[in-house]
Structure 1
């Protein structure tokens, strides 16, 4: 994930590829209308943009041996993907070294991993849902023990929330399981659910050996820096926090296609240094900031791969802040924002499809995408002005003189840029002023924030853009609710009914008067949204579940808590000799096939 351009937020636990990292998100929308039970949608339920851009090479044309030096943001703070400080780099280590019952294709669709399971299916729905995994007979941990029911049961007990001594980031799905046991046939594991669970494919990916989940101490501390056993094409060989590296070596116990590489060395490299490191041949692959694209393209022996990322950027509107508590004002803000112009500014220079995001739960590169933004209403400055007037915000007759925030403003932390409208709206003599909070080191968000502020000035809204230190951005401002408007990202997910529920859950008042918001930092939600996502999460018929999430998304738009802007770009530089790597998007990498061309 591009954490320097789109800062991360506290995150729950992972599933295949990038489900691990729940980078922060926020919301906005607008349009006063009543939704019927069958919400209309525009767009298609097929993926509308490409899903990945890889340097594809047949295995026969990939040479044996070599070390791939892969630039990452940092040495993982933990190797336990189910802890709250797990990140994208934790997920990379897990993907290369641990069992994944399901992996994702380029369009975010889960598929059973044939290296581990020959079948994984719902084998009963009455009296309770039962999922049966038929494991490959040769599937073993590197210590020689067969992967089996004990590992599944250990992970269930560690993650189901019943023992608070386990420091787990999320219990989603595992808390619905009532039993895990060996199946009736050899190499089978049966998982029984107390209540139906549609997103059962999200579970046990990754799967940790029972030694990790057998005790809170092993789970909380033991798996932070080492893994007792591997069951993937690679195994963790060394974690060197001083050198900033994690070395993954070929796993001699692996029963699948033998890894082409001898080793993968994940190396912490600041983004500002990655273009130079690629040119100097000290790294082989690195995700780069879009602004570095031209510099990387000029380097001989370096190629660039681009695809929509498995994440989206959005504008968060704090529904508990001042004038924004009035839904009409939130709708007015949303109706004033030209999402297509913003998407064009970010994506067109990269040669990626220019498409404003029309869905909170499914991204354009995923199967099942449909645009539900009509539930909010299209860009309409006059309607936005009418909504403000209806809420009591009257336009001044006198011009105040507009001061615009320029694109690419790189003000230091603590700096304040004020965008004054030509004719402000006011109530009781006080102008409508909204405070937009941005991280201090993000040229992309500087540009997007400035554009939004100028759009709002067109309806008479005054915007104060406040730059804050990156390290305090989420904890001190977003999570605490100290903002009116904010820009940040969430990762996409193949399992929206599970993963997105805490993002859009209706805040619950606590006894002390505060709000329990889960990850709904916009603090806007409804009972109907909660009910629809709950029903979708329990619906085993995929078509019906999709209809429920479609309706939930329409209601999220109409609630005016979030404005999705665009699916983020993923830009990757790599040496031209590198094979089967690039911009993965949602796709789970095939680690055994990574390597160098012959």
Structure 2
């Protein structure tokens, strides 16, 4: 199960990977030829795409691709709140996309729809002129033109509440749209500068859909009568859970190779079974399914009939286990013997089914890349201990992000450098590592921050609330301890915080200076060249033995306790032996222990996310922070816990975007009190934000110079790091199972399907029937001394 947050302010198929927490969404739209672009000097490189890239002349004409999706769409209008990943995938194949994204996530003009699009005036107002492809027509034969632009602007600008729109970002800045010499010449004037103008009018709907509130609200929910892509939407059968796209006979571009694409809703936990049954040609899969396909490919040359070492009954293949099973099945207790025989029969049947599926899975390959989305540790700063910036920073400084990224990505052979930005991923022009504004993993600094906030080892036993907080704190104080940054404001009500103080003056704290230093470094051109390129099911308290991270070595034949504190009396060890650093005892304040509620999903597809959570709990336990793991149903994880603010710590992902000034703002905007006393958080589910961050987003959204806009976003990112509400961990892996003969489809990374080029290779060009991917064959289920998480 993928846990990706709600979209970044838009549901546009170009910028999103998901539109709900529990689904993987559409892939960005771009030309496939961009996949071979050279990496610009000095830029962090993105993981390569893996799509079985093939020229059109080597692809057969005709055929149907059966593509797994998570759900059938509730609506086909991507601008409505209940649109989902399948809505976006359909829109990408059947509607105009004016700008697509290349492999670096940069918008590029789509020549199928635009001859040109550029800013022609900046003063006194920004003016953009679109010149449309003269061959571009809707499926009913009418040309795509200015009336369609005007209708979409009127529907999305936010002035008419009769339109049930989910967003109006960018459209509200448009002052007017005018027809040029003809309807193919569209002149758009903005009343305020808008840097992300390329994000607008994608997808573009016909004026029949956008022209009135009634048609907007209801006309495109069940079907699209008019389209303008390489495919048309033939039908959406919600009962059969299938949507069918067919080749568009009026498409003016290169003719689609496929006759049709069938999108089938298949739960992720059932996709290995569906692939083995031959019901799918391509599907996003989880780690377990990838392991099965990899194992099947490796076993292809093995001995026929050789027993499987995994799957049902694999634990019973040893002689001892087999002997025990036979003994129970033939024992004197008839009732127990019958039960044992029935169990053996069920196991044998399941093993045969599993073995047959494994043989069939040999007909697939696993394609892999990094998904344009990142997993983060979210810290809820609205109330409780995490309302104190010092505690949030201590949590962040306790976590070894490199260790987590290595554990998830290295086994897949993918780049495992921790993500250093909230607003871009590796390979994007806007990417810069601003994590220095917070600092690297440092146990002593984390402990000192906690002590300064009043959380001490003696605090859990004390009940005199009037005692000065922090009087028993241990360890040295960091430079920024005891100071409250003006930019570390939260939406917390006055009086709820304990053990913290807010400076009234304008002096910058060291945390702010760190952020300033980080952004100055990021924006310095010469420095950039040298930068390193439901209901809870279960609750458990964490008290794991810490790993050997942070350990030290003792001398040859020296008592460990004589070399470093924390050794065991009388212990001797040869030179180089690692001894764990002393673990902090449980911390407390005013008689209460420091324990954080770590909310995680409980579904079968969430094992890897829970494994990451366990490792984080171990790291926090090392500095005296306890965690209580709350496992909740996947279908309630986001709505009832993340969005509702019912958590202290949580893990979920955000999709990357080509337009951070527009799409990032609602995620990191400072929450504001509503008239009823509640908080309006937009998409900022950590409830941590500042006025300064909001100002930087606003400035960037109005900055037409791309370099200046990126510098503003780097400054905003450094401030987000310093506030310590969201800690990016790693970019998510992307695993896709496909038929080997299927070309131009797979793990797209930031690129997207060029639907007209997808098809099956001609006979003789299919290549190998199976290629094993580097996926380990086993997943650990518990935290060990040196834990490794899998995805």
Q: TM-score, normalised by structure 1?
A: 0.92
- Corresponding residue to 1:147 among 137, 144, 149: 144
Once the two structures are superposed, residues 99-136 of structure 1 have per-residue CA deviations (whole angstroms, 9 ceiling, x without a partner) of 00101112111101000001011111122111111001
- Corresponding residue to 1:439 among 601, 607, 612: 601
Distance 2:42 2:599 in 1: 35
Q: Which residue of 2 aligns with 1:271?
A: 268
Q: Larger deviation: 276-285 or 497-506?
A: 276-285
- Corresponding residue to 1:488 among 649, 652, 656: 652
Q: Which residue of 2 aligns with 1:342?
A: 404
Q: How does 1:349-364 map onto structure 2 within 5 Å?
A: 349-364=411-426
Q: Any unmatched runs of 5+ in structure 2? A: 23-39, 297-360, 462-534, 545-582, 763-791
2:111 counterpart SS class = coil
Distance 1:295 1:512 in 2: 53
Distance 1:398 1:310 in 2: 43
- Name the structure where strand makes up a greater proportion of residues: 1
Q: How does 1:359-508 map onto structure 2 within 5 Å?
A: 359-396=421-458, 413-420=536-543, 423-441=585-603, 442-508=606-672
Distance 1:44 1:558 in 2: 29
Shift of the 8–530 alpha-carbon distance from structure 1 to 2, 3 Å rule, reads closer
| Cα deviation, residue 256, structure 1 | 0.3
Q: Which residue of 2 aligns with 1:100?
A: 97
- Corresponding residue to 1:83 among 80, 92, 97: 80
- Corresponding residue to 1:50 among 17, 39, 47: 47
Distance 2:5 2:693 in 1: 25
Given that residues 52 and 307 in structure 1 are in contact (C-alpha distance below 8 angstroms), is that contact kept between their aligned partners in structure 2?
yes
Q: Which residue of 2 aligns with 1:29?
A: none
The answer to whether structure 1 residue 581 and structure 2 residue 643 are counterparts is no
| Cα deviation, residue 273, structure 1 | 1.9
| Cα deviation, residue 86, structure 1 | 1.3
Distance 1:175 1:184 in 2: 25
2:720 counterpart SS class = helix
Distance 1:571 1:18 in 2: 19
CA RMSD of aligned residues (A): 1.9
- Corresponding residue to 1:213 among 207, 210, 222: 210
Distance 2:683 2:589 in 1: 32
Shift of the 130–208 alpha-carbon distance from structure 1 to 2, 3 Å rule, reads same
Distance 2:169 2:703 in 1: 15
Q: Which residue of 2 aligns with 1:553?
A: 717
| Cα deviation, residue 51, structure 1 | 4.5
Q: Larger deviation: 193-202 or 348-357?
A: 348-357
1:582 counterpart SS class = coil
Shift of the 74–45 alpha-carbon distance from structure 1 to 2, 3 Å rule, reads farther
Q: How does 1:190-229 map onto structure 2 within 5 Å?
A: 190-229=187-226
Once the two structures are superposed, residues 319-349 of structure 1 have per-residue CA deviations (whole angstroms, 9 ceiling, x without a partner) of 1121111110000000001111111111112
Q: Which residue of 1 aligns with 2:701?
A: 537
| Cα deviation, residue 165, structure 1 | 1.0
| Cα deviation, residue 215, structure 1 | 1.2
Shift of the 364–83 alpha-carbon distance from structure 1 to 2, 3 Å rule, reads same
Q: Larger deviation: 303-312 or 244-253?
A: 303-312
Q: Larger deviation: 272-281 or 566-575?
A: 272-281
Which is greater in Rg?
Answer: 2
Q: Which residue of 2 aligns with 1:28?
A: none
| Cα deviation, residue 546, structure 1 | 0.5
Distance 2:137 2:153 in 1: 19
Q: Which residue of 2 aligns with 1:39?
A: none
Q: Larger deviation: 182-191 or 90-99?
A: 182-191
Q: Which residue of 2 aligns with 1:168?
A: 165
Q: Larger deviation: 205-214 or 472-481?
A: 472-481
Q: How does 1:93-132 map onto structure 2 within 5 Å?
A: 93-132=90-129
Given that residues 386 and 648 in structure 2 are in contact (C-alpha distance below 8 angstroms), is that contact kept between their aligned partners in structure 1?
yes
2:537 counterpart SS class = coil
2:722 counterpart SS class = helix
| Cα deviation, residue 5, structure 1 | 2.8
2:220 counterpart SS class = helix
Q: Any unmatched runs of 5+ in structure 1? A: 26-42, 400-411
| Cα deviation, residue 185, structure 1 | 5.5
| Cα deviation, residue 413, structure 1 | 4.4
| Cα deviation, residue 186, structure 1 | 6.0
| Cα deviation, residue 180, structure 1 | 1.1
Q: Which residue of 1 aligns with 2:362?
A: 300
Once the two structures are superposed, residues 402-454 of structure 1 have per-residue CA deviations (whole angstroms, 9 ceiling, x without a partner) of xxxxxxxxxx9420011137610111221101001111111121101111111
Given that residues 7 and 488 in structure 1 are in contact (C-alpha distance below 8 angstroms), is that contact kept between their aligned partners in structure 2?
yes
Higher relative contact order (CA 8 A, sep 6+): 1
1:190 counterpart SS class = strand
